[in-house]
Structure 1
Amino acid sequence: MLVHICCAVDSHYFLEKIQEEFPNEEIIGFFYDPNIHPYNEYRLRYLDVDYSCKKLGIRLIEGPYNLEEWLKKVKGLENEPEKGDRCTVCFDDRLETTVKKAIELGHDKFTSTLLISPKKSQDKLEKIGAELTSKYDCEFIFRDYRSGKGSQEQGLVVKENSLYRQNYCGCLFGLSAQREHQDKVMDEMFNPISNQILPESIESRLELYKKRDDLEEKNIPYKIIKQRFLNYRLMSGITKIDKKIIPSYFLCYSTLNRNSMNGRIEYEKDEIAYLNRDEVKVLSLKSFNEIGNSTYQTVKDLMFNPPTFESELNIRNKVTNNPYGLSTILVVDELIDGKYEIELNALIYEDVKEVII
């Protein structure tokens, strides 16, 4: 039996039940989810499914990540609600690809872990499965493992196995509608030009669950817990001196009261300039290198190859004695005595992140 898998949160319990009910079947997992966006989220979910399948002794096959083809299929349905027509098209695509793969592998049965997801319509999935059974002469196994205490048992399995519990279905359109309804920042779609790993970004989650896998392999005890914290995202920042734009790098947690300011150097010490407005500090690259023990040659080099987020917090702490202070701290190649004009668009918001202890 080939089992289409959408994510480990939905698949682990479902696969356990399938193994119990069909002990003589060769169960193979098929991860085919071109709807998942962005790509690092796709990689994270695949990593988690691979981890889950290894625990269950199930062979896993990865399907193609043909996002562009999927986008063409759902064109015009971008604003459909969850469980609407866009989801139907998505089900059609993933289940038909699954049944074709099942036949290719010589299987006579197929199913999908989408059946256990509380955000998916079982009626639609059962109907599509029946149509594909008739079309391809390969039996769709419909099972409702979420009724009764199924959802509760599934939740316990997720906790016991430290699985990644994602907070959106996977597709861009579902995510954007969900975040708009929640009035939350859609930070899943932030991709800084510096490639710096930001707090509670998909990239940071990917690193965390890679560490989980490593601890599991080494049989080292651990636990994943959640922590509330104040998150930060820099949208844009520009620095002008005497009306000329210069390369500048804004340290994390830099903010301005009105997103813009202009001022002059009021005091200078150890290659750090203190402007006369909005508590702005300006570091020369030389000072930044000394404080951060780095060897950047230019600010442009710093912009595209920054230190870690944690290193920036340490530098902020050394400058202001407060790692989470909100004063703007920017780095320039050299301090210039002139009129500084700064435009800064940044977001600060409450968030929750997972950490391993």
Structure 2
Amino acid sequence: MEKKINYQKILDELLAGLESEQKQADFSQHAPKPSLLLHACCGPCSSYVLEYLSKYFQITVLYYNPNIYPQEEYERRLAELKKLYEVFPPALDTGVKVVEYEYQPEQFYDAVGVREEPELANEPEKGERCRRCYKFRLERAAAYAAQNHFDYFCTSLSISPFKDAVKINELGVEIEGRLLAATATNAATAATVTETSTSPKWLFSDFKKKGGFKRSLELSQEYGMYRQTYCGCVYSMKNKEKL
């Protein structure tokens, strides 16, 4: 039987190492925190993650979610995220920035392939449709992280009990490996490369652990945040209506 990976333990060990490095640096000179590009799907899910990680990283939030349907819902979630960051101490105190991509839902439909495989439309969450949705958003986050020289990239998605943390982390590792290989290839042909990039590391996580999901509910109530009743895509909305 394959041993289950404890992603929270991996993250705990990394954060302990970063904390130790930062404490040692304080005795000599101030050392900058490593940079983290955090893909976020909404304000409520990112609230706990920012509270948890802002001590260790300089965080930039990427709002790339063309899966969200309809556009009014997409804009509402983005507005709630920005509204939270204007008053949320972990975002204010560390200067969290938000990067927003243009809303282009066709990117989602192309990525998940439900039109070609209509049976995927009726899948419950955590299935193949969702895996493909994780993948194309993580790929966009990783590409942005590489182009802008981030040390790490991650997503807030694993905070939800309805998201598959194993698939998310496996995809993160796969994408990190492809970035590393591409960076090595570019380095070998540096004379012809005009745009440089780095190879950010995947930050392992299962943010629902250690009471993370519960804490996100508490923060939502504390800050009066809108919490959506479905994941985001039209298929998750329709499947929710059937229940």
Unaligned runs of 5+ residues in structure 1 are 182-357
Q: Please name the residue that 1:141 is paired with.
A: 203
Decide which structure has greater helix share.
Answer: 2
Which amino acid counterpart does residue 40 of structure 1 have in structure 2? E
Structure 2 SS opposite 1:148? helix
The whole-number CA distance in structure 1 between the counterparts of 2:40 and 2:232 is: 13
Q: Please name the residue that 1:111 is paired with.
A: 154
Q: Please name the residue that 1:195 is paired with.
A: none
**How many residues are paired up?**
178
Deviation at 1:149, TM superposition (A): 2.5
The answer to whether residue 77 in structure 2 is matched with residue 45 in structure 1 is yes
Contact 1:53 1:60 in 2 (8 A): no
Deviation at 1:70, TM superposition (A): 1.2
**1 or 2 for the larger relative contact order (CA 8 Å, sep ≥6)?**
2
Deviation at 1:150, TM superposition (A): 2.4
The whole-number CA distance in structure 2 between the counterparts of 1:73 and 1:117 is: 22
Contact 2:169 2:204 in 1 (8 A): yes
Q: Please name the residue that 1:29 is paired with.
A: 61
Deviation at 1:53, TM superposition (A): 2.5
Q: Please name the residue that 2:143 is paired with.
A: 100
The answer to whether residue 130 in structure 2 is matched with residue 68 in structure 1 is no
The whole-number CA distance in structure 2 between the counterparts of 1:146 and 1:96 is: 22
Decide which structure has greater strand share.
Answer: 1
Root mean square deviation of aligned Cα:
1.2
Q: Please name the residue that 1:91 is paired with.
A: 134
Amino-acid identity (%): 31
1:129-278 paired onto structure 2 within 5 Å: 129-137=172-180, 138-181=200-243
Q: Please name the residue that 1:19 is paired with.
A: 54
1:277-356 paired onto structure 2 within 5 Å: none
Structure 1 SS opposite 2:61? strand
Q: 1:243-269: CA deviations, max 9, x gaps?
A: xxxxxxxxxxxxxxxxxxxxxxxxxxx
The whole-number CA distance in structure 2 between the counterparts of 1:156 and 1:129 is: 28
Q: 1:95-154: CA deviations, max 9, x gaps?
A: 000000111211121000001111100000010001111111321111223223222222
Q: 1:182-220: CA deviations, max 9, x gaps?
A: xxxxxxxxxxxxxxxxxxxxxxxxxxxxxxxxxxxxxxx
Contact 2:156 2:207 in 1 (8 A): no
Mark the structure with the bigger radius of gyration: 1
Unaligned runs of 5+ residues in structure 2 are 1-35, 181-199
Which amino acid counterpart does residue 125 of structure 2 have in structure 1? E
Deviation at 1:15, TM superposition (A): 1.1
The answer to whether residue 198 in structure 2 is matched with residue 122 in structure 1 is no
The answer to whether residue 49 in structure 2 is matched with residue 6 in structure 1 is no
Structure 2 SS opposite 1:3? strand
Contact 1:110 1:139 in 2 (8 A): yes
The whole-number CA distance in structure 1 between the counterparts of 2:124 and 2:213 is: 23
Which amino acid counterpart does residue 225 of structure 2 have in structure 1? L
Structure 2 SS opposite 1:149? helix
